């Protein structure tokens, strides 16, 4: 699958057109491919196999055959293999970072500092949780046993490709499940490198399988497949709903991490010099292509002018450019369809009467090609506006003023989503109180360090189920009660 240079692994152009099934690389049932577009140049940089229903059948059969053996291995032996996967991610971090930069336009510094290391952390955490997890407890003569659910279909998105793969694959195989992975067809290169890495780590054949292809064919086939016991999807609300509908006849478990329109509530006592700039950068991290990005900054009306000045200055200082440049903070939007979506929503904001502080429609100056988008900040946004309600998934921030803390909480909850939220304030008791009133699966107070053990998932239309740490691990387990155990 890969060729080895002096210091890294690189993709072989021929074998990118293959699938990884039952411990080996093989050609798909039909000789069809999908192009991979570099969003910085708009050029085709690779062709990957376009899998089909037949390929899904083959991958599921391999996973089903491998399940009895893998699920009966000791936690210690599974932890050893997962630990080796973690080591190989760190050893091959540069190749993975380069693939991420190529396939989705991630700034190389961001790929090296965030995309790859955080992905590795999901693997480490899965190993550590497994090493200390108690799979059986006896309570009053009844044994409560947790067992792997079976074959898991994993569908991952294009915006954090490797990170979302490890957040699903690592806890699933740690729990004793076998998996079939469908990465996004828009950013599949890092997934191919990951498959080779898993192979080299010594994972038994059939435990991990990769089928590239479209959601309409491969994703739908996985969701409906009678021999898949669980589907975990990270993606759009539309995709999540379609997967749930397809999965319903076989009554399989479905976990979904979907859209978001996360609030960032700046309480009146917040230190605005310290709260506003990180808020802007959090909203624009990964070019705003994060489902939990805090893209609604909710601020006291009497401090609005101060917030506007700080936000505009922060956004205007962001370097947007070639993702291979060490100076670049934000590369391009990851694909053409999303670029068009972001441009359209910026126009919507202007037409709705929001106050444009910086940015606006059009490419970044100096770039005739590439999906480079101007970091855009709107102020005086009303919560009823489309730009305040719809997930834009780009570097667009809405500043919404409030008069009372109760109104701030109401604005924060005025959304169909409930994935993440932020609260800033020096009075920790007040910040905690506000956090408890926000309907979201994860609330961050005063920009804390990322915690890979903190469960992540949504309320409302942001999905169901949880990922990361212990709670993410337990999603892949069934509960069995053995009554009269003794």
Cβ atoms of 73 and 135 closer than 8 Å: no
Q: Widest CA span of the chain, in angstroms?
A: 74
Please name the fold of domain 2-258+462-482: Aldehyde Dehydrogenase; Chain A, domain 1 (3.40.605)
Beta strand pairing status for 33-38 and 43-49? antiparallel
Cβ atoms of 457 and 254 closer than 8 Å: no
Question: What is the DSSP secondary structure assignment for residue 373, as one 8-state letter?
Answer: B
Stated as kind and residue range, the H or E segment containing 21 is strand 19-21
Percent of the chain clearing pLDDT 90 (strictly above): 97
- State the Cα–Cα distance between residues 119 and 125, nearest whole angstrom: 10
pLDDT tens figures, 373-400: 999 999 999 999 999 999 999 999 999 9
Active-site residue among 257, 391, 467, 475?
257
Active-site residue among 177, 291, 358, 398?
291
3-state secondary structure 332-365: CCCCHHHHHHHHHHHHHHHHHCCEEEECCCCECC
Band of the pLDDT at 7, cuts 50, 70, 90? Answer: very low
Is residue 8 predicted with pLDDT exceeding 50?
no
Using CA of residue 301, residue 303, residue 309, residue 312, what is the dihedral sign?
A: negative
- State the Cα–Cα distance between residues 450 and 461, nearest whole angstrom: 24
Question: What is the DSSP secondary structure assignment for residue 114, as one 8-state letter?
Answer: I
The segment(s) of the chain belonging to CATH 3.40.309.10 are: 263-451
Rg (CA), the chain: 23
Please name the fold of domain 263-451: Aldehyde Dehydrogenase; Chain A, domain 2 (3.40.309)
What local confidence, expressed as pLDDT, does residue 35 receive?
96
Name the packing angle between helices 75-91 and 161-175 (round to 10°): 160
- The alpha helices in 202-295, defined as continuous H runs, are 220-224, 237-247, 272-284
What local confidence, expressed as pLDDT, does residue 16 receive?
87
The two structure tokens encoding residue 447: 């920009």
Phi, psi of 375 (to 5 degrees): -55, 125
Residue 291 annotated as catalytic:
yes
User: If we measure between CA atoms, which residue out of 181, 178, 169, 209 comes closest to residue 86?
Assistant: 169
The segment(s) of the chain belonging to CATH 3.40.605.10 are: 2-258+462-482
Cβ atoms of 288 and 453 closer than 8 Å: no
Is residue 313 predicted with pLDDT exceeding 90?
yes
Residue 257 annotated as catalytic:
yes
Give the mean pLDDT of the chain.
Answer: 96
């Amino acid at each position: 699958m890969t060729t080895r240079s002096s210091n890294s692994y690189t993709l072989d152009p021929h074998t990118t057109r293959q699938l990884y099934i039952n411990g080996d690389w093989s050609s798909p049932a039909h000789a069809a491919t999908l192009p991979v577009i570099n969003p910085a140049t708009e050029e085709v940089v690779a062709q990957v196999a376009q899998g089909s229903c037949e390929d899904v059948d083959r991958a599921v059969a391999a996973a089903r055959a491998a399940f009895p053996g893998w699920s009966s291995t000791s936690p210690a032996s599974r932890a050893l293999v997962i630990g080796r996967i973690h080591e190989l991610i760190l050893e091959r971090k540069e190749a993975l970072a380069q693939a991420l930069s190529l396939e989705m336009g991630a700034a190389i510094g961001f790929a090296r500092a965030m995309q790859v290391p955080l992905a590795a952390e999901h693997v480490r955490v899965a190993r550590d949780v497994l090493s200390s997890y108690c799979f059986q407890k006896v309570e009053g003569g009844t044994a409560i046993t947790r067992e792997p659910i079976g074959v898991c279909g994993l569908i991952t998105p294009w915006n954090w490709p490797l990170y979302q793969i490890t957040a699903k694959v690592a806890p699933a195989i740690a729990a004793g499940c076998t998996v079939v992975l469908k990465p996004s067809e828009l950013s599949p290169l890092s997934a191919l490198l990951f498959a080779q890495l898993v192979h080299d780590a010594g994972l038994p054949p059939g435990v991990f399988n990769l089928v590239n292809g479209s959601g309409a064919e491969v994703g739908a086939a996985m969701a409906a497949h009678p021999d898949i016991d669980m589907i975990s999807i990270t993606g759009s609300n539309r995709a999540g709903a379609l997967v749930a509908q397809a999965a319903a006849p076989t009554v399989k478990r479905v976990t979904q991490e979907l859209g978001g329109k996360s609030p960032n509530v700046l309480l009146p006592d917040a230190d605005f010099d310290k709260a506003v700039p990180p808020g802007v950068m959090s909203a624009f991290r990964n070019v705003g292509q994060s489902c939990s990005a805090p893209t609604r900054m909710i601020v006291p009306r009497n401090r609005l002018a101060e917030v506007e000045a700080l936000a505009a200055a922060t956004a205007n200082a962001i370097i947007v450019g070639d993702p291979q440049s060490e100076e670049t903070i934000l590369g391009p939007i990851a694909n053409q369809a999303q670029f068009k979506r972001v441009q359209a929503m910026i126009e919507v904001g202007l037409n709705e009467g929001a106050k444009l502080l910086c940015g606006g429609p059009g490419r970044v100056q100096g770039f005739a090609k590439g999906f480079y988008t101007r970091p855009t900040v709107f102020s005086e946004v009303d919560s009823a506006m489309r730009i305040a309600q719809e997930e834009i998934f780009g570097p667009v921030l809405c500043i919404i003023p409030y008069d009372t803390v109760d109104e701030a909480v109401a604005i924060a909850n005025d959304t169909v989503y409930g994935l993440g939220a932020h609260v800033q304030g020096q009075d920790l008791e007040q910040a905690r109180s506000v956090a408890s009133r926000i309907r979201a699966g994860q609330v961050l107070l005063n920009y804390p360090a990322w915690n890979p053990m903190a469960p992540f998932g949504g309320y409302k239309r942001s999905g169901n189920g949880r990922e990361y740490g212990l709670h993410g691990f337990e999603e892949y387990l069934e509960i069995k009660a053995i009554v009269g155990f003794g």
